């Protein structure tokens, strides 16, 4: 599996919890009913920004994207409840309780790229990188 090996904390991060597999039906009389079709949410996302990093570090994101074949393969990550717990310092600066909630909300999933990394050159040899990861349930 491809590896994301950036050894620094992101300068900003945002998390969006995944969706539960729910359908809603409304009867002719207006009564609504909902049905849950699974036991886990999926599709959570984690957006990370690494501002003002050296270009040789920014290259790691391109390499990782290529290794996942554009998000086809999962990222190989360190051990944790959903295999992303301590990878690349992604949660550095987040409280332990918040980190636990994010990991709990994505339990049972695996992470891959939702889109290609966006790299902006801000000065000679310095770039800002933005990545979007998605937590997926697959039947591989």
Average pLDDT, the chain: 83
pLDDT in the model for residue 100: 82
**Pairwise CA distance, residues 41 & 57, whole Å:** 33
22-35: average pLDDT? 96
Say if pTM beats, i.e. exceeds, 0.95: no
Long-range residue pairs from 89-93, CB within 8 A, at least 24 positions apart, any chain: 89/6, 89/7, 89/8, 89/9, 89/10, 90/9, 90/10, 90/13, 90/46, 90/48, 91/13, 92/9, 92/10, 93/9
Q: Are 13 and 45 in contact (CB under 8 A)?
A: no
pLDDT in the model for residue 87: 53
């Amino acid at each position: 599996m491809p590896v994301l090996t950036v050894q620094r904390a992101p300068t900003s991060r945002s998390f969006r919890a995944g969706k539960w597999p729910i359908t809603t039906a409304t009867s002719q009389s207006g009564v609504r009913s909902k049905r849950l079709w699974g036991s886990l949410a999926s599709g959570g996302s984690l957006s990370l920004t690494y501002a003002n990093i050296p270009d040789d570090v920014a290259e790691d994101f391109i390499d990782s994207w290529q290794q996942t074949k554009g998000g086809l393969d999962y990222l190989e990550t360190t051990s944790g409840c959903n295999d992303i717990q301590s990878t690349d310092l992604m949660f550095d600066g987040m409280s332990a309780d918040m980190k636990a909630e994010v990991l709990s909300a994505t339990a049972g999933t695996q992470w891959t790229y939702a889109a290609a990394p966006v790299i902006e050159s801000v000065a000679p040899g310095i770039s800002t990188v933005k990545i979007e990861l998605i937590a997926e349930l697959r039947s591989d």
